[in-house]
Amino acid sequence: MAYNPYQFSQFGSFYQPSGTFLPPQQLGGGQPGAPGQNVPGMLPMEQSYVENILRLNKGKMATVYMTFERNSEWKSKIFKGIIEAAGRDHLILSDPATGMRYLLLMVYLDYITFDGEINYVPPGFPGGADSGLPGR
């Protein structure tokens, strides 16, 4: 096989036309909570924005509006309950009036309303999505 100076070597270095080699880059940064790193118990903030806002509001009453396009009984449905957990593809609500718990898939989510203030920390602020610090 012919030598190609623009190809990665087995060690990950990259030859530059100037004649120098660049060392392999470390992915994920070196700081705790840097983008690309996993924080135990949380998905990476920059990859799971809605669910992290829901996690910041765990324990609050929410009204969840969902649309089920292929359902012949009902096209849309409203769920009201306390946020227990949220993941990349799901939300768990509990209805204190009935004791019913709902595992709702995010693919059907239209929007969510809260009766009170929403806990939210924008990216770029201390405790925000790109800081790795917990929200308020």
CATH number of the domain within which 56 lies? 2.30.30.100
Can you read off the two tokens belonging to residue 83?
């946020």
> Which residues constitute the domain of residue 102?
45-114
62 assigned to some structural domain: yes
Is 132 inside a domain boundary? no
pTM of structure: 0.59
18 inside domain: no
* Contact by Cβ (8 Å): 53, 13: no
Is it the case that residue 82 has pLDDT exceeding 90?
yes
For the residues 27-41, what does the mean pLDDT come to?
Answer: 50
Angstrom distances, CA of residue 115 to CA of 18, 83, 84, 100: 61, 13, 16, 20
Q: Which one is predicted more confidently, 123 or 19?
A: 123
Residue 68, pLDDT > 70, answer yes
- Mean pLDDT along residues 25-49: 52
